[in-house]
Chain A
Amino acid sequence: MFSKRGADYDRAGRESALRIVWVYPDLLSTYGDQGNLLILAHRARARGLAVQPLQVRSPDRLPEQADIYLLGGGEDGPQALAAQRLNADGALHRASAAGSVIFAVCAGYQLLGRSFFAKGERHPGLDLLDLHSDRGPSRAVGELAGPVDPRLSLPTLTGFENHGGRTHLGPEVNPLARVTAGVGNDGATEGAFRGAVLGTYAHGPALARNPALADLLLCWATGAGQLAPLDETWTDRLRADRLATLPGG
């Protein structure tokens, strides 16, 4: 089932653990960003997959062989510093070229683009997604929701956004969703993806309310066509509760 990237085996010949890296928790961690790591690990283990979670702080080198890389939100200064270090390190670019999954939220999403604004200046991004971000007229704070690109076969995206940026997509990326509540990229579209790189303004533990998106990332990372269903009683109730608060919900 680890066909897509070729399985990694340990010395005993067993499939080794799914490696999930939280990139720079010292810089990119504001709103429960750890949640995405915990949720992916939990959902993978519930399917019997071994997981090796890793937190790599910014002074350290990023491993190139991980299966999933997670980037969280951050304040202006740390965001700029993170982009600078990731560009200097190069491991994330090489991992992405080799097919690793990258999931980024908020400031982490912005820095995957060509450029972004922080502390009143334009900074070069990682150029892993064809998009750029600038300052919006007002801060976008509140519930964010909308139908996801049908090619991903996911239910409605639901999350909470809190950002001052606006993101403009280039022709090489697809918007993750259409916005029906909140702002997202620009009030019309929200998030972006290309290949196994996916970013969203649904900040913090975005996967808590979007377990199907978590499973999609796990499928991309493992090459699995589908994963065994889990008991979604509480995630279903949470999603229904959040979507019901929206106008017309």
Chain B
Amino acid sequence: MTLPVSDPRLPIRARVASAVSRTAAAVSRATGRGDGSVIGGRIGLLIDPDLLANLAAGRRIALVSGTNGKTTTTRLTAAAMGVLGPVATNSFGANMPSGHTSALARAGRTPYAVLEVDEHYLAQVLAATRPAVVALLNLSRDQLDRAMEVAMMAARWREALAGHSDVQVVANADDPMVVWAARAAPRQTWFSAGQRWHEDSWVCPECGHAIVRERDQWWCSGCNLRRPQPQWTATDQAVVGPDGLRQPVSLALPGRVNVGNAATALAVAAAFGVPPAAAAPRLREVVSVAGRYAQVERDGRWIRLLLAKNPASWLEAFDMAEPAPTLLSVNARGPDGLDTSWLFDVDFTPLRGRPVQVTGDRAYDLAVRLQVDDVPFRHVPSFAEAVASVPPGRLEVIANYTAFQDIRAELDRVL
């Protein structure tokens, strides 16, 4: 592998830290301990706590944050920004400051960077990287046994944005929590990507009154918080921009939700001066995102992996999946959240009529859930057995975080 040359603009401590960080990442990759992006960043930060700020200086940066879609949107945005030149990005989903440090160190000097940011770290990363643009996608319940409650997260975002007078926010007009947070920024561009999930925004974060929804619109019954007029709108196969021009998008990624992510990517790229017509063709280059949407052939089965880590993203996965044999796998390890209650926030009835198998550490939670929704299923002890028990053809696999990683690792081993 090639290491980028040491950047003479960095202060000496940062240069040393950056080089050590790259070496550690290389060692970590070589020894098979993951892709190295997190471990490298951690070691770098130990040497120079300002390393991220130093690495960010001189670049024009976009941050992408939200509960769902941030990895995919980051990839699409980086592809769109590629029109301008080399773009640094944390494409392995390492979305905390250590991952950002590692991504920027690894990329060497680039004029642009697009960074996916875990929603809990937005304030910290805003302060360190001084981005030109911040894209805010959505906020919904996600592993509530360890994450902050949705309204509290929106308040933290709001506070973080209020301190930055020079940032352009590109935010989802369909999510009241996001709109409320984004209004604290000096300048906003609004996009509409549709929102299937409404269950976390019935109460106004500003005044506590009820949010009223009618078709695409929403407004607070007690104050002036309401859906802003979006400049960018996703339709079935296209994105309509601020000039009213319809930009067709042809994605390699499935589902309506990804057209929404494409709209966000085009809006962010436009904030850097990239015309949608120039950016749109590049979006097709994104075919799989950290193994998600990837199709793998095994013994005549075309296996497609879809990651679904919270209720909103399960609804999206059912929409993306074809009505084919489907394997569901759920774990409740640390990164998943230990609580499986969210299974009852997901409507599994779209799976009726598909041959369904369940597996994973918490397959019995899934089994009880499916029974209540009258979805027949079969329990299988392993992924291999699930594959063996479907006929040749497509197998859709929908799994939450560590269950997804387990299945990816197993596919990698076999291939």
Q: Show the binding face of A for B, using Cβ within 8 Å.
A: 25-27, 29-35, 38-39, 42, 57-59, 75, 77-78, 81, 141-142, 160, 162, 203-205, 208-209, 234-235, 237-238, 241
Contact = CB atoms under 8 A, between A and B. Distances in A.
Contacts of B151: 75, 77
A209 B343 CA distance: 13
B341 A234 contact: no
B27 interface: no
A142 B341 CA distance: 12
Contacts of B150: 75
B87 to A, nearest CB: 39
Given A38-B372, A141-B338, A204-B342, 9 more contacts: A25-B199, A31-B144, A35-B344, A38-B373, A59-B210, A160-B341, A162-B145, A208-B372, A237-B364
A34 B342 CA distance: 10
Those 8 A-B pairs whose CB atoms lie nearest each other, nearest first: A35-B344, A204-B341, A32-B344, A32-B341, A26-B202, A31-B341, A238-B364, A234-B367
Contacts of A234: 364, 367-368, 371
Interface string B125-169: 000000000000000010011100111000000000000000000
Contacts of B149: 30, 75
Contacts of B146: 141
B344 A26 contact: no
B292 interface: no
A145 B144 CA distance: 20
Contact of B203 (A26, A42, A203): A26
B322 interface: no
A42 to B, nearest CB: 5
Nearest to B338: A142
Contacts of B236: none
B208 interface: yes
Contacts of A209: 368
26 contacts: A27-B202, A27-B203, A30-B144, A31-B342, A32-B342, A32-B345, A33-B344, A35-B341, A35-B343, A38-B344, A39-B372, A42-B372, A42-B374, A58-B210, A78-B203, A141-B146, A141-B338, A160-B145, A162-B145, A204-B341, A205-B343, A205-B344, A208-B365, A208-B372, A237-B367, A238-B368
B368 A162 contact: no
Contacts of B410: none
A138 to B, nearest CB: 14
B319 interface: no
Contact of A160 (B339, B345, B373): B339
A34 B345 contact: yes
A73 to B, nearest CB: 9
A26 B374 CA distance: 26
Contact of B344 (A141, A162, A204, A238): A204
A205 B342 CA distance: 9
A75 B154 CA distance: 14
A176 B326 CA distance: 40
A58 B202 CA distance: 10
Nearest to B221: A59
Contacts of A141: 145-146, 338
A34 B141 CA distance: 14
Interface string B354-378: 0000000000110111011110000
B202 A32 contact: no
A244 B139 CA distance: 35
Interface in B319-351: 338-345
Given A235-B368, A238-B367, A205 B202 contact: no
Given A81-B208, A208-B368, A32 B343 contact: yes
B309 to A, nearest CB: 15
Interface string B261-293: 000000000000000000000000000000000
Contacts of B145: 141-142, 160, 162
B373 to A, nearest CB: 7
> Which of A25, A32, A142, A238 counts the most B-chain CB atoms under 10 A from its CB?
A32
A234 B366 CA distance: 9
A236 to B, nearest CB: 9
A44 to B, nearest CB: 12
Interface string B283-312: 000000000000000000000000000000
A208 B369 contact: yes
Contacts of A42: 371-372, 374
A236 B151 CA distance: 37
Nearest to B370: A234
B203 A77 contact: yes
B39 to A, nearest CB: 28
